[in-house]
Structure 1
Amino acid sequence: MSAPLPLTGLSAIADDYDVLLCDVWGVIHNGREGFPVACEALARFAADKPVVLISNAPRPAAAVHEQLERLGVPRAAWSAFVTSGDATRALLAERAPGPAWAIGPDRDAPLYEGLPLEFADPHEAAFISCTGPFDDEVETPEDYRTRFGVCLERDLAMICANPDIVVQRGDRLIYCGGALAQFYGDLGGKVIMAGKPHPPIYDLALAEAQRLLGRPVDRRRVLCVGDGLPTDVQGALHQHLDCLFVAGGIHRAEVCDATGALDPAAAAHRLAEDGLSARYLMADLIW
């Protein structure tokens, strides 16, 4: 695999692409505040070409708009927004009325709005729906071992609405739904996901891009931007789309030196460790 090309800014390649599919958490905000420089870069691209935000948020996109505004992400920075929650609702609807054992915080309730689902505990549920830990400030996957044991005995499948393993909240990494799904799978459970790196969310994002362009999308002119190796980079690779790896996100400690400067060789090595590749590389998204 060839090493990714370090970029001084998105402007160096902007003319080569008609569409950006851009990750959210870790690229344009950290859960506590938006990144103004990254938002400016997206806004400049979005001035005349579509930017589709593609997020593993386990809620429908409409339910996340307010969060973006609160974090200071301007509406000019994006043209459309699709989430893992959007893609997951179709999977949940197929299994209605369930009942489902719903794992996740109250803020993820919009995922279920309007669906004819019933809910139950692990002893009565027909499947598991996971958006993340009930309390991601303190819980770890290990806290679910006993309850997952009940689910395994009953051969329950898990639908995971957020494949992210961890995300950065301020200066901390917190567990997401993907960590619970990985743990359940390691215990022998069946896991089904629709978010990145899986195809359903890319189908939604490219459909939005086609709607905005008003013509079929040339996949050779679509650039994926993200900081997560098992989600953003792997998803782009599976979709045969070019990828810009924003290495200063959740992998910053592995690929940047003590001053925060990007080490391109370390980033290339980190990609290779996971059998991945990206066409371009930046520490942080800038224009």
Structure 2
Amino acid sequence: MKYKDYYEILGLDRSATLDDVKTAYRKLAHLYHPDISKDPKGEEKFKEIAEAYATLKNTEKRADYDMIGSHKEGENFTPPPAWQAQYNTNASSFDDVDISDFFSTFRSRGKTTAYSPAKGEDYSIPVSVPLETIFQGGAIDVSVELPEYDQHGLPHRRQHTFRITILKGAQEGQRLRLTGKGGAGRNGGQPGDLYAILTIASHHLFRVNGSDLYVDLPLSPWEAALGANIQIPTPGGNVELKITSGTSSGQRLRLSKRGLPKADGQTGDLYAVVQIQIPKEISKAEQDLYQQLSRTSHFQPRTSFDMELK
């Protein structure tokens, strides 16, 4: 029988722990999986990796494999006498038998194996939530591809869609646990969990800072100079905001409790950031008014330059 060094295939020594075996397998499977690897021999390498993992991850299979002892890769060896008796043949008939086939046949002929149940893996995924849903609560559908393993231990990805309930006042970075929606369990074990990590989706008007919101507030020069009452959008609907005369560009106007709800029942604030807008095109009449203003006004916007220019 040809010897395959499963430890060497996974890059491990014989004292490797089960965690070492799992870590090595995940790393190599990611490199050589046919759906990922560009290596022309990737599929062949992946099959060897999966075969090695299927043996070394199982306590009893690994013990049986270790009974063979250490040999060089591809070297012919004769199975132990107990194995020959169990296989019900003689040593010479093993010449063309693949070691993985031998394991399968040997185990199927009377040797029972107690497979220990293993819980499936937990996974975390980022979930982008519309600001409106954060504000009022609601449900969203989330699609995610999760790895699954077939009867040979080979990973495959399958898409799942889950409906997630977002409570009013959910926060950026909050983790929502979907029990039993993670990786499949092994040998009758419980499935893992899926954790949705909430992120607030970019909004065309509002910027988010915790539970506070910021919105740019465009004003005309005369609104900023003379004052005005204007309508401003908030997540809960439009409200009227009074602009006092002499409002400056960049000034922040606070609208109390017009931001996002908090988990404790409080509400953040909304800040309107003033942006004074100048018309790009003006009529002859408007130009005359601006010229008249320039001759009449004593306003000096650059007084802070005076000391530097002297």
Q: Calculate the TM-score normalised by the size of structure 2.
A: 0.20
Instruction: Give the number of the structure whose residues are more often helix, by fraction.
Output: 1
Instruction: Give the number of the structure whose residues are more often strand, by fraction.
Output: 2
Relative contact order higher in (CA < 8 Å, ≥ 6 apart): 1
Q: Calculate the TM-score normalised by the size of structure 1.
A: 0.21
- Greater Rg over alpha carbons, structure: 2
